[in-house]
Structure 1
């Protein structure tokens, strides 16, 4: 009943789904980029992961954003808002936390979404 999609890391999956709920997580595939580039790549991966399990960014109900430097939050927010679009009906609940991330990773995003 639980659907799982393998990622590249041992011991964890990139996405899981159960009934009408989907959970996924992503970081940027290119950590040489700045916060703008890493945020764009991360959100693109989130969108691809959701699609793979029958959901979409318009069906995200909850999101957690972890960033390495809270002074980058306004830049990340701009990319986030552009990605989500102008319709408030598609905006999820979201929390953003400053954390220590591994290596040159500047952002990690995890979401919960509904699927049909």
Structure 2
């Protein structure tokens, strides 16, 4: 059975799980902030969503990061790397794409992780 967790997102769930896999998505709760703070807030939501479905950031196997301005990628990367807090050889596979996001949203992150 697919487990879904509804959230603040229009037309989608914030998280889903099936057997040993978890999928979740997040944007910043404060779109007036800059890219670094929006990244921190987005990753905090990702972490909470993963915990809610019996996973955590150390179990992420794949991530997609969508940012509104690719010039912000180095700033986002520094927050991402600090958040992961582990040696780079243990980081998940990740893609980063520059896209047009709605309103003042500067970042959106989706991840796939394994349950504990």
| 1:9 Cα deviation from its structure 2 partner | 2.7
Counterpart in the other structure of 1:54: 54
- 1:63 paired with 2:63, answer yes
Cα distance in 2 between the residues matched to 1:27 and 1:78 = 17
| Divergent runs of 4+, >6 A | none
Counterpart in the other structure of 2:85: 85
Q: 1:10-55: CA deviations, max 9, x gaps? A: 4210000000000000000000000000000000000000000000
Answer whether contact 1:67 1:98 (CA < 8 A) is retained: yes
Aligned residues: 116
Answer whether contact 1:60 1:90 (CA < 8 A) is retained: no
The 5-angstrom pairing of residues 11-90 of structure 1 reads 11-88=11-88, 90=90
* Structure 1: segments with no counterpart, 5+ residues: none
TM-score by length of 2: 0.97
* Structure 2: segments with no counterpart, 5+ residues: none
| 1:8 Cα deviation from its structure 2 partner | 1.6
